Amino acid sequence: MQVIIQPDTQSAVKLTAAVLADALRRNPEMTFGLATGATMEGVYAELVRMYREEKLDFSSAKTFNLDEYIGLPVEDKNSYRSYMDKHLFDHINIKKSNTHLPNGMTPDIPGEGSRYEAAIKAAGGLDLQLLGIGQDGHIGFNEPLSSLRSRTRDKLLAPQTLQQNSIYFDPPESMPRRAFTMGIGTILDARKIVMLVTGESKSDIIAQAIEGPVSSMVTASAIQFHNDATVILDQAAASKLKAQDYYHWCFENEPYWDKFR
């Protein structure tokens, strides 16, 4: 795992977008796993800027989002399809038919997970999975006690997640209590993982995920099993990490990062 601490949120966001853009330039047919949430809005704004100003080309890219609420029509402003259209897909040259999210309105809830898994497999698997982290340590909506081998399925959301995300819903109680989410096993199958974590409010949970034991109580800790995971943090999110000096030293001395420094 690589842990990169940037001085502020904007530079952490920009570095994350730069890593994604670099991967896309090297392989225009990238299949990205994408994430939603407030943290990612800046990443998508930066990718849109690179599309407009630097001709970053998404025409052959494919995407699979981590998760989608169950029972929200795609037109609902809180569906993750709406989020992705609003923040990214409507502003770049990606083919909408190449963008995938679980179908939150499917009549076949038990079958949706395996359908989504099959679609990922048919696309050749995920080349790069972008991740945030929830207050309860989730990646995707893999709430505490999710199996570390789990695959895409429907999941009951934890109280902390309902509290974190219900601010977007009016009234807050109208937030769905279930969502489809890629599993931890699905995420770990991605060839590369890039996690972005910003803000003091995430400092405790990210320290547990990176420096604590691997545990299904903090499902983000499972990325310790991945052989190509990069975690990008701002200083506020990194403030509780014990080995900050070591992470800075690795970033300064690892040639792969030369072009990003």
**Residue nearer to ligand PGA on the CB measure, 38 or 156:** 38
Catalytic residue among 68, 100, 112, 138: 138
Pick the catalytic residue from 46, 136, 189, 234.
Answer: 136
**Residue 89 carries which DSSP code?**
G
Q: Rule CB under 6 A: is residue 39 a binding residue for ligand PGA?
A: yes
For residues 169 and 257, which CB has a smaller minimum distance to ligand PGA in the complex? 169
Contact 137, 221 (CB under 8 A): yes
Cα(117)–Cα(114) distance, integer angstroms: 5
Closest CA to 156 of 137, 175, 170, 132: 175
Rule CB under 6 A: say whether 134 interacts with ligand PGA: yes
**Beta-bridge partner residues of 218:** 215
Exposure letters 79-94 (e unless 16+ CB within 10 A, then b): bbbbbbeebbbebbeb
Question: Is 38 a residue that touches ligand PGA (CB under 6 A)?
Answer: yes
Query: Which of the stretches 34-42, 81-89, 230-238, 243-251 binds ligand PGA when contact is defined by CB under 6 A?
Result: 34-42
CA 214, 8, 144: angle at the middle one, nearest 5? 25
Q: At closest approach, how far in Å is the CB of 91 from ligand PGA?
A: 20
Segment interacting with ligand PGA (CB under 6 A) among 3-11, 71-79, 96-104, 126-134: 126-134
Beta pairing partners, 229: 193
Q: Does 167 bind ligand PGA (CB under 6 A)?
A: no
3-state SS class at 173: helix
Q: Is 136 a catalytic residue?
A: yes
For the bound state, the minimum distance from the C-beta of residue 18 to ligand PGA, rounded and expressed in Å, comes to 19
37 interacts with ligand PGA by CB under 6 A: yes
Helices 80-87 & 38-54, crossing angle to 10 degrees? Answer: 40
Residues that bind ligand PGA (CB under 6 A): 37-39, 132-134
Report the catalytic residues: 67, 136, 138, 143
